[in-house]
Chain A
């Protein structure tokens, strides 16, 4: 399909954030934190007419109320877009009760901390192989040569699909999560390509089963002992691929970006490696990559603000995590923050199924980087760029290390 004017429009620049917010505005992409602070100071919920009508909860409490309220808020659409395209089921993330729980329980055993721990040695090897490729250069774009490949290779391994197809995964995800906000042709094109890709892998396994997540889903049975419809399997596989890559790419990249700019935190993590798990949670809080969405199904109020059906909700876990009512010094990165109920992986029934995997990837990626490259800084000759919309993280991250100039 081609780009057509009807499905792609550039948004006018935002002049009134309180009544006309837009999470695709370049200022939000570059530095959303002061915007969220200003909106939060105004109201726990703000609204825009953009995206066919959309609310933004700005406080932790308002985000939590919505995440817990599956009666008034549906997950059938989880991305805020210019249009409301046909529903694209990707269970369990797009499922509401009662279908949600059985769909999620099929996936959960593959993502427990014990199940994930088995991947750790392989991940350490992957990180070191990536570092080997640029360690002698003294500089690197860490986003394109390090942080991206860790979740790509991990996801390919778990799903049982070729690592060599990584560029294809990145392209689809970019079309679905970024371009697809404003261009429904490209959204549907990438979705169909992805579905066809997984249908091929499913067909090949019908004769020769494998030991991976594709086979796990193919072998799953519902409560009546029946296999899942192929559309369910393909939908869940699209979810696992989309949700596992940009997100972790972003979280590792934002952590390295912080450490490149903060020598004291770098030195402390090297001197006190036992602090790493607490620091990882703080990076997740301060630079939460993922903003989800809900569709309002019935009229209700959130934190006293009326909310009407027909609108979407931009469910900003990142903004919740910067709420000073819950996190003292919310805009400061405190790597030994001991009380940290951050919502980076969501709250309620839709808690990210891959959270244990994401944490492990972040931990291993930062640990192995610090072992090999303890001293590094942003390259003043380059510029850092951030992804737009649903998942926020560095997509260009030029770094200098060692004695390089």
Chain B
């Protein structure tokens, strides 16, 4: 599984960072990006879905490989 943050849509609510801190980083303005290449370890897949389903801007994509 991979995640991707749409930087155009992200407005910095930071819900993803609170719910799945291992999967997201915030820039100096507090806007989110996926950590590294966005790969999600199996044990964190639930967290990735949680982050996606709580993003108010619908900016997070979960890609199942």
A residues adjacent to B (C-beta < 8 A): 105, 108-109, 111-114, 277, 281, 338-343, 345, 347-349, 351, 355-356
**Min distance, Cβ A319 to any Cβ of chain B, angstroms:** 16
Closest 5 CB pairs of A and B: A108-B29, A351-B11, A112-B30, A339-B53, A341-B56
Q: Are A112 and B29 in contact (CB under 8 A)?
A: yes
Give chain A's interface secondary structure class.
helix
Closest to B28 in A: A109
B50: CB under 8 A from chain A?
Answer: yes
State whether A343 and B56 are in contact (beta carbons under 8 Å apart), knowing that A349-B11, A351-B13 are contacts in the complex: yes
Q: Which of B11, B28, B30 contacts A356 (CB 8 A)?
A: B30
Q: Are A342 and B26 in contact (CB under 8 A)?
A: no
Query: For A341, what are the chain B residues with a Cβ–Cβ distance below 8 Å?
Result: 53-56, 58
11 contacts between A and B (CB under 8 A): A108-B12, A109-B28, A109-B30, A112-B14, A113-B30, A338-B53, A341-B55, A342-B56, A345-B13, A347-B11, A347-B57
**Min distance, Cβ B57 to any Cβ of chain A, angstroms:** 7
Q: How far is the CA of A347 from the CA of B57 in the complex (A)?
A: 7
Q: Which of B14, B19, B53, B57 contacts A355 (CB 8 A)?
A: B14
Q: How far is the CA of A216 from the CA of B5 in the complex (A)?
A: 30
State whether A348 and B30 are in contact (beta carbons under 8 Å apart), knowing that A113-B17, A277-B18, A341-B55 are contacts in the complex: no
Q: How far is the CA of A348 from the CA of B54 in the complex (A)?
A: 15
Name the interface residues of B36-60: CB closer than 8 Å to any CB of A. 50, 53-58
Instruction: Taking A112-B28, A343-B56, A345-B56 as given, write out 16 further A-B residue pairs in contact, using a Cβ cutoff of 8 Å, ordered by the A residue number.
Output: A108-B12, A108-B28, A108-B29, A109-B30, A112-B14, A113-B30, A277-B19, A338-B50, A339-B54, A341-B56, A341-B58, A342-B56, A347-B11, A351-B12, A355-B14, A356-B30
Q: Which of A113, A340, A342, A348 contacts B14 (CB 8 A)?
A: A113
Q: How far is the CA of A235 from the CA of B13 in the complex (A)?
A: 24
Query: For B29, what are the chain A residues with a Cβ–Cβ distance below 8 Å?
Result: 105, 108-109, 112
Closest to B17 in A: A113
Q: How far is the CA of A109 from the CA of B31 in the complex (A)?
A: 10
Q: How far is the CA of A212 from the CA of B26 in the complex (A)?
A: 23
State whether A108 and B18 are in contact (beta carbons under 8 Å apart), knowing that A342-B56, A348-B11, A351-B12 are contacts in the complex: no
Q: How far is the CA of A340 from the CA of B15 in the complex (A)?
A: 10
**Min distance, Cβ B64 to any Cβ of chain A, angstroms:** 18
Q: How far is the CA of A342 from the CA of B12 in the complex (A)?
A: 14
Q: How far is the CA of A158 from the CA of B44 in the complex (A)?
A: 36
Q: How far is the CA of A343 from the CA of B13 in the complex (A)?
A: 10
**Min distance, Cβ A40 to any Cβ of chain B, angstroms:** 19
Q: Which of A111, A277, A340 contacts B30 (CB 8 A)?
A: A111
Closest to B9 in A: A348
Q: How far is the CA of A339 from the CA of B15 in the complex (A)?
A: 11
Q: How far is the CA of A342 from the CA of B55 in the complex (A)?
A: 9
Query: For A338, what are the chain B residues with a Cβ–Cβ distance below 8 Å?
Result: 50, 53
Q: How far is the CA of A214 from the CA of B13 in the complex (A)?
A: 24
Closest to A278 in B: B19
**Min distance, Cβ A361 to any Cβ of chain B, angstroms:** 15
Query: For B11, what are the chain A residues with a Cβ–Cβ distance below 8 Å?
Result: 347-349, 351
State whether A340 and B54 are in contact (beta carbons under 8 Å apart), knowing that A113-B17, A113-B30 are contacts in the complex: yes
Q: How far is the CA of A355 from the CA of B31 in the complex (A)?
A: 13
Q: How far is the CA of A54 from the CA of B57 in the complex (A)?
A: 26
Q: How far is the CA of A348 from the CA of B14 in the complex (A)?
A: 13
Closest to B12 in A: A351
Query: For A277, what are the chain B residues with a Cβ–Cβ distance below 8 Å?
Result: 18-19
Query: For B53, what are the chain A residues with a Cβ–Cβ distance below 8 Å?
Result: 338-339, 341
Q: How far is the CA of A108 from the CA of B29 in the complex (A)?
A: 5
Closest to A342 in B: B56
Q: Are A347 and B56 in contact (CB under 8 A)?
A: yes
Closest to A340 in B: B54
Q: How far is the CA of A341 from the CA of B18 in the complex (A)?
A: 14
Q: How far is the CA of A356 from the CA of B12 in the complex (A)?
A: 9
Query: For A356, what are the chain B residues with a Cβ–Cβ distance below 8 Å?
Result: 14, 30
